[in-house]
């Protein structure tokens, strides 16, 4: 790939919000490494990007595993281009009320979200510092403010905000910005699974959510992709350590 093209990594980008972000960054002119647990699952996003004239590569990695992350980032840097943009989007749900939540469910969610963001950021920052330019975008959530049945997810997403602000302080001197996006209700397979878990048809679930949102609709993955595009842009170089709630209305 051309040295003039910046390389972006988007984790959890085989589907949903991650896929939308990957496609948008490719449309913005970046080469995109589509990273997900199952490399074969990355093909749909990669094919969509290349069909639109963009540059992409699919990479399988477990973001919660140190060696897997080290190998994946090394492979991307060697075969595709030194990554200077990172979107930490990979995430899972293991919802349950506290008294029914297992240690495995707690560890799995904290592992993918927080440990994953830490490991990916630690590897990618080496290239950002070397290039004296970088962008890190972390996915938080309105659940960071508290959400019944999501003690693990809420703790992880609140942790992402503290992680974001700390990295912004540490990496700013190297011309690296670090920001977070906290989506509200976004229409994805993940929210469809939540509706199924609580026993509500997805269309009814969406209507109920939209009625509580000031703009009177649920969010789409592209809504998050637009915000990520801004944070990764040259023009956002003086915006760092921020958390933007993309939720169709104000959140505290």
Half-sphere exposure of 226 (CA within 13 A, CB side): 8
Phi-psi region of 16 (alpha: psi -120 to 50; beta: other; left: phi over 0): left
Quick count: other Cβ atoms within 10 Å of Cβ 210?
A: 16
Interacting residues of 126 by C-beta distance below 8 A, sequence separation 6+: none
Residue 112 structure tokens: 């993918």
State the catalytic residues: 153
Interacting residues of 238 by C-beta distance below 8 A, sequence separation 6+: none
C-alpha to C-alpha distance for 208 and 221, rounded to whole angstroms: 19
């Amino acid at each position: 790939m051309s040295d003039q093209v910046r390389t972006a990594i988007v984790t959890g980008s085989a589907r949903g919000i991650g896929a939308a972000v990957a496609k948008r960054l490719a449309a913005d002119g970046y080469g995109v490494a589509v990273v997900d647990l199952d490399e074969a699952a990355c093909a749909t996003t990669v094919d969509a990007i290349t069909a639109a004239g963009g540059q992409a590569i699919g990479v399988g990695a477990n973001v919660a595993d140190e060696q897997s992350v080290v190998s994946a980032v090394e492979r991307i840097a060697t075969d595709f281009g030194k990554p200077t943009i990172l979107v930490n989007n990979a995430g899972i749900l293991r919802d349950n009320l506290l008294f029914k939540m297992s240690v495995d469910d707690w560890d799995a969610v904290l592992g993918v979200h927080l440990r994953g963001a830490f490991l990916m950021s630690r590897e990618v920052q080496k290239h950002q510092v070397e290039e004296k330019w970088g962008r890190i975008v972390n996915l938080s959530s309105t659940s960071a403010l508290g959400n019944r049945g999501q003690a693990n997810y809420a703790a992880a997403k609140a942790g992402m905000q503290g992680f974001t602000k700390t990295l912004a302080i540490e990496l700013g001197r190297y011309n690296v910005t670090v920001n977070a996006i906290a989506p509200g209700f976004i229409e994805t397979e993940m929210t469809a699974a939540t509706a199924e878990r609580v026993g509500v048809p997805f269309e009814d679930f969406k209507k109920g959510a939209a009625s509580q949102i000031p703009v009177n609709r649920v969010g789409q993955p592209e809504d998050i992709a637009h915000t990520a595009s801004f944070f990764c842009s040259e023009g956002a170089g003086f915006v760092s350590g921020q958390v933007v709630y993309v939720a169709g209305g104000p959140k505290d």
